[in-house]
Structure 1
Amino acid sequence: MTNNFSTIRDVLRYAVTRFNNAKLFFGHGSTNALDEAAYLILHTLNLPLDKLDPFLDARLLPDEIDSLLDVIRLRSVERQPAAYITKQAWLGDYHFYVDERVLVPRSFIAELIPDQFSPWVGDADAVLTILELCTGSGCLAIMLADAFPNAHVDAVDISADALQVARRNVDDYQLQDRITLIESNLYSAVPDKKYDLIITNPPYVNSASMGKLPEEYQREPQIALAGGADGMDLVRSIVAGAAKRLTPQGVLVVEIGNERAHAELAFPTLELTWMTTSAGDDMVFLTTADKL
């Protein structure tokens, strides 16, 4: 088979056709077959990820073609997310190590962190303690440590496997002194102290939606997705425990994806502020200690 390919252009065309024929789902960074194919090819060949054109007509060695065909197979036949194949993912301007032990990073909270949750958080320098629940790969904890320079972040996950990935990312960003990783079922093993911010992107997919997830999402740890019948099982526990964990001016930020209707049913008496993200005003809510 390798004799049929000689250049990157050949393999790129082949990959795009394979990806389109397979009707792949693009929800982990790329939005289309061409971008995903270009990324996987450039990464596999250890070429700059933003420079495809100069290399399009470069001739490939037989072993390079074999490697590329293997990557195309993993993506199109086994439906592995690209991030699991390359072991890397981006969130905003940050890049992280990822593998099958964690969700591929994607969070609308990540869009809100660079603005330090303004105007609800008045003075970012005064934020000293942050609790991030369901940290997974540690991506939000790292972004939070960057955005709030005086804060210490306690990053929690129930999965010891996920925390091993988070440890690698925290070490890569040299934030060992500012982020403490804690294996805990939500608040159960969290230190008995007050936090200025509690942030979470918990499992929130309702059980009806779980069965309809694309195959790529089914490659991810299901414990990190499934939120029970209405998607709110963990969210209820997080909200219930936040009141006694927040400082008097403390803020709770919760991502709930497409589950706004379920969230409003789950908390009919709680005043929720819906924050604006690239996907609209339905993905992330905020509430404050005084409301809780």
Structure 2
Amino acid sequence: MQGVTEQELAEQAVNDLHSMLDLMRWCATQFNQAGLYFGHGTDNPWDEAVSLVLQSVHLPHDSPQDLFAARLTQAEKKHIVMLAQRRVNERLPLAYLTHQAWFAGLPFYVDERVLVPRSPFAELIQGHFAPYMDFEPDTVLDMCTGSGCIAIAAAMAFSEAEVDAVDISADALAVAEINIQEHDLSTRVFPIQSDLFENLSGQCYDLIIANPPYVDAEDMADLPEEFHHEPELGLAAGDDGLDLVHDLLKKGPDFMSERGWMFVEVGNSMVHVEQQYPDLPLVWIDFEQGGHGIFAISNRDLKAWLGKQ
């Protein structure tokens, strides 16, 4: 789609299409033809198209399909077509176009200062980290919080807990603050700027949730174009993807209660974890809703392992 041809395509779509379903079908066709990559909340052109249309008209992602027959205004159609063309031409993740992403059933504001939420941690949070934890934590640390989605979802799941949302990036924390205020959690979720544990002296947590940068050098070189719109600070973690994981394991027990647990996402870099920590008693989580690369370890087991090193 170049020059006037693209403009003509947009005008034709606006004139010929009427319902949400019409626009969904049109968007899906454009996405298919463009060969887009889907990895920021959807995994196929149709779901991406449905998400774009519903977000554009401010409807929830679980809206009934009967509603898809509703006719759209000219202004709504123009807006949808414009977003679809930007999605194709700029390869921007949809969440950066609509400034909304869903995580653990909750909506979050996002922009290019943070990664688009997509962690399988959502399933763990909604399941209250069972069967690994058999208690409700009083204190939670969300390390590398980004948009704050994990911290906020954890605060929703554990209604009495206080949650520290930590990130090295002031830009990311500004986005997290928007979401904390939006979800009315400013009395229980606290954004903190820190390079890992550096500014957390004296803190002690029953639950540490860490989603650090973990993409290794090889995977960084092969990332689809969509991912290059995300902050590299939130993705790249050295040759093996474990630059931050080493510190989390080494220093974690100093910030955990006796009953505490740590859960760390490492994605595809789990192969490096298994190679470098063959005798560390990690539990790798199996997910029913998809996803991989998150391990769990109790403070007791981590302390005992560190004591043998």
Q: TM-score, normalised by structure 1?
A: 0.92
- The 2-side partners of 1:248 and 1:59 are apart by 57
Preserved contact between residue 120 and residue 292 of structure 2 (Cα < 8 Å): no
Q: Which runs of 5+ in 1 are unaligned?
A: none
**One-letter amino acid of the counterpart of residue 71, structure 2:** A
Residue in 2 that maps onto 1:148: 158
Q: Is the 8 A contact 2:104 2:126 kept in 1?
A: no
**Aligned Cα RMSD in Å?**
2.0
Q: Which residue of 1 aligns with 2:99?
A: 87
Is 1:258–2:271 an aligned residue pair?
no
The residue number in structure 2 matching 1:275 is 285
Aligned to 1:239: 249
Shift of 1:271: 1.0
Deviates more, 1:147-156 or 1:164-173: 147-156
Q: Would the alpha carbon gap of residues 116 and 97 (structure 1) be closer, same or farther in structure 2, given more than 3 Å must change?
A: same
Q: CA deviation at 1:233?
A: 0.7
Residue 269 to residue 24, structure 1, CA distance change in 2 (3 Å): same
The equivalent position to 1:58 in structure 2, one of 71, 84, 91, is 71
Kept in 2: contact 1:196–1:249 (CA 8 A): yes
Please name the residue that 1:163 is paired with.
173
SS at match of 2:107: strand
* AA of the residue aligned to 1:68: I
The answer to whether the 8 Å contact 1:108/1:278 transfers is no
Percent pairwise identity: 42
Q: Are 1:277 and 1:283, in contact at CA under 8 Å, matched by a contact in 2?
A: no
In structure 2, relative to structure 1, the CA distance for the partners of 1:25 and 1:188 (3 Å cut) is same
Give the secondary structure class of the aligned counterpart of 1:243: helix
Who is 2:305 aligned against? Answer: none
Q: For the residues of structure 1 that align with 2:216 and 2:173, how far apart are their CA atoms?
A: 25
Residues in 2 aligned to 1:69 and 1:29: alpha-carbon distance in whole angstroms: 20
Q: Size of the alignment, in residue pairs? A: 289
Partner residue of 1:226? Answer: 236
Q: Are 1:97 and 2:97 counterparts? A: no
- How far apart are residue 32 of structure 1 and its match? 1.7
Aligned letter for 1:254? V
The alpha-carbon distance between structure 1 residues 144 and 228, as it changes in their structure 2 partners (threshold 3 A), is: same
Q: Is 38-47 or 266-275 further displaced after alignment? A: 38-47
Matched, 1:42 2:54: yes
Show the counterpart of 1:19.
31
AA paired with 1:169? Answer: N
Determine which of 195, 208, 217 is the counterpart of 1:207.
217
Q: Contact conserved, 1:19 with 1:76, CA < 8 A, in 2?
A: yes
**CA–CA distance in structure 1, aligned partners of residues 280 and 262 of structure 2:** 12
Q: TM-score, normalised by structure 2?
A: 0.87
Kept in 1, the 8 Å contact 2:120–2:291? The answer is no
Separation of aligned partners in 2, 1:29 and 1:59: 25
- Structure 2 stretches of 5 or more lacking a match? 1-7, 303-309
Aligned to 2:5: none
Q: Kindly indicate whether the alpha-carbon contact (under 8 Å) linking 2:123 and 2:289 is maintained by their aligned counterparts in 1.
A: no
* Residue 191 (structure 2) pairs with residue 181 (structure 1): yes
Distance (Å, rounded) in 2 between the aligned partners of 1:250 and 1:204: 23
1:200: Cα distance to partner? Answer: 0.5
How far 1:281 sits from its partner (Å)?
8.3
Greater per-residue helix proportion: 2
Deviations 1:248-278 (A, max 9, x none): 2211110111222111123233211111213
Say whether the 8 Å CA contact 1:45–1:64 is kept in structure 2.
yes
Contact 1:92 1:111 in 2 (8 A): yes
> 1:162: how far off?
0.5
Q: Residue 106 of structure 1 aligns with which residue?
A: 118
- Aligned to 2:301, the other structure's residue is in SS state coil
Q: Deviations over 1:54-92 (max 9, x none)?
A: 45473642x444322211111111011111111111112
